[in-house]
A and B are shown apart, each in its own frame.
Chain A
């Protein structure tokens, strides 16, 4: 079945550590996105990539980094510079930019301990 796989589902991190969230899609979609969900704030865009080897900052990119070396993979690194990393992280993909629905993974819940 085609879809988006995020792993792990739950992740615990100590303060000061970097951590990488995985996102893989087998939908052959060109564009991929990372969103963060906090209570009462909806989904806020962290980074997005419209094509391999290219990506742009979203609205809340500070403290995060990404790479897009392969079409099917878009990992997100939460660095120690991110002040409030505890959140629910969602990865999405679209087959084109605009005029289409985005497909989402099941999310990763990151907790800083």
Chain B
């Protein structure tokens, strides 16, 4: 049973516009969340994270929002650039235990 769900397999956005990637989770023991970016045949690279005690974290063009009551987080990329085209994974730490990943969303930014 997937505990971290990314329900949109793909997303297509025009260059310069906002990209919004969504993630839902079911495990209430998750207390720290991360977003990773991955290119084909490479390892994922860390983008941004958020603790469960916060509802927003920002780093340059990337902002992550956390809604604990809805068990939902989202990654906003503004403005989107063609180099942002990749697979984005949402991940969550189960307290003191393991790091669990979602299935990923393919983002295509069109120029």
A interface residue numbers (CB < 8 A to B): 4, 6, 33, 35, 40-45, 48, 56, 58, 88, 90, 92, 94, 97-107, 109
Chain B CB within 10 Å — which of A40, A41, A42 has the most?
Answer: A42
Query: Across the interface, which residues of A come within 8 angstroms of B103, CB to CB?
Result: 40-42
**Tier of interface size on chain B:** 20 to 34
Q: What is the predominant secondary structure among interface residues of chain A facing chain B?
A: strand
B interface residue numbers (CB < 8 A to A): 4, 6, 9, 31-32, 34, 41-46, 49, 51, 89, 91, 93, 95-104
A97 with B46, Cβ < 8 A, contacts A43-B101, A88-B41 known: no
CB atoms of B99 and A102 under 8 A apart:
yes
A-B contact count (CB 8 A): 66
Return the chain B residue nearest A106 by Cβ: B43
CB atoms of A43 and B32 under 8 A apart:
no
Return the chain B residue nearest A109 by Cβ: B41
A105 with B43, Cβ < 8 A, contacts A42-B104, A98-B31 known: yes
B13 to chain A, nearest CB (A): 21
B91 to chain A, nearest CB (A): 8
CB atoms of A43 and B44 under 8 A apart:
yes
CA distance A35 to B102 in the complex (A): 12
What are 5 pairs between A and B in contact, CB < 8 Å?
A33-B99, A42-B4, A90-B43, A90-B44, A102-B91
Chain B CB within 10 Å — which of A92, A104, A106 has the most?
Answer: A104
B31 to chain A, nearest CB (A): 7
CA distance A104 to B89 in the complex (A): 13
Query: Across the interface, which residues of A come within 8 angstroms of B99, CB to CB?
Result: 33, 45, 92, 94, 102
CB atoms of A42 and B43 under 8 A apart:
no
Return the chain B residue nearest A59 by Cβ: B100
A30 to chain B, nearest CB (A): 13
CA distance A44 to B9 in the complex (A): 17
B30 to chain A, nearest CB (A): 10
